Amino acid sequence: MGDYLRPRGLEEALQALTRPVTVLAGGTDFYPARVGRAVTEDVLDITGIAGLRGISETEAGWHLGATTSWSELIEAPLPPVFDGLKQAAREVGGRQIQNSGTIAGNICNASPAADGVPPLLALDAEVELASRDGTRRLPLASFITGVRQTVRRPGELVVALHVPRPRTGARSAFLKLGARRYLVISIAMASVVVEVAEGKVAAARIAVGACSPVARRLPDLERALIGAAFDAQLGDRIEPVHLAPLSPIDDIRGSAAYRGDAALVLLRRLLAKVSA
């Protein structure tokens, strides 16, 4: 067993990150990846740093601390633009996983099936990274670059996600398809945020997960919805061509063709759901 570090302050954690050390938050991805073998690397447990936990409102939007758990997110008083992220949080494993698993852990693990990623993309979330050299912020879409790959540098810690305030009243929703209803890895999932003004779509942000190495926004579909009446027919505007950015694969959970069909159905249902 290597060193186990559990600092109480961010500075101490960033100092620890100046040497090779693996970050540990809720451990719900970390430990399953090490079943049957001893943990030999040095570990930096960040759950003792109070400043990394919790959700607060800022002038520009909302600050989601890195170690905020899915349960804390579900219980937080947040406006309807967060409904999609909360619906995703309720689908991350069972209650025990939601109590331990963190928002930043989900994005740093960078699984194509990470349920938090599509709703955070639809929220236009930015990732804040800190190191001994300072901090930087970048869009979530630029942070995850491939299967289990992010642009996090050695020495950096994800400290928060930032969600901007929508310009107008916004609705959002998330839907996931798995082989059974609960406790399941997604075959496909999608999330939408629709900003509405005077009964029409003023802006839309739509993301699909588990249908490409990294969850993807669908910019052509987002543009096609602008100006449309915000009613039950909204989903009729979706054309298969809008899903062109996706590149689903065949695997044990579903074929590429099935995933593509599922994504289309999920999106139509989502738009019906938000406009209901």
Ligand X SMILES: Cc1cc2nc3c(=O)[nH]c(=O)nc-3n(C[C@H](O)[C@H](O)[C@H](O)COP(=O)(O)OP(=O)(O)OC[C@H]3O[C@@H](n4cnc5c(N)ncnc54)[C@H](O)[C@@H]3O)c2cc1C
Sites of contact with ligand X (CB under 6 A): 22-30, 32, 46, 66, 91-93, 97, 100-102, 104-106, 108-109, 114-116, 152, 157-158
Whose Cβ is closer to ligand X: residue 27's or residue 164's? Answer: 27
What's the Rg (C-alpha) of the chain? 19
Nearest distance from residue 247's CB to ligand X, in Å? 20
Q: How far is the CB of 236 from ligand X (least distance, A)?
A: 30
For 122, phi then psi, to 5°, come to -70, -25
- Is 100 or 191 the residue whose CB approaches ligand X more closely? 100
CB 204, min distance to ligand X, A: 23
Residue nearer to ligand X on the CB measure, 114 or 193: 114
User: Looking at beta carbons only, is 131 or 228 nearer to ligand X?
Assistant: 131
Closest approach, Cβ 196 to ligand X, in A, equals 28
In whole angstroms, how close is the CB of 145 to ligand X at the nearest point?
15
Residue 203 makes CB contacts below 8 A (sequence gap 6+) with: 166, 167, 168, 194, 195, 222, 226
Characterise 261 by phi-psi region: left (phi > 0), alpha (psi -120 to 50), beta (else). Answer: alpha
Query: Which is nearer to ligand X, 231 or 251 (by Cβ)?
Result: 251
User: Nearest residue to ligand X, using CB?
Assistant: 105
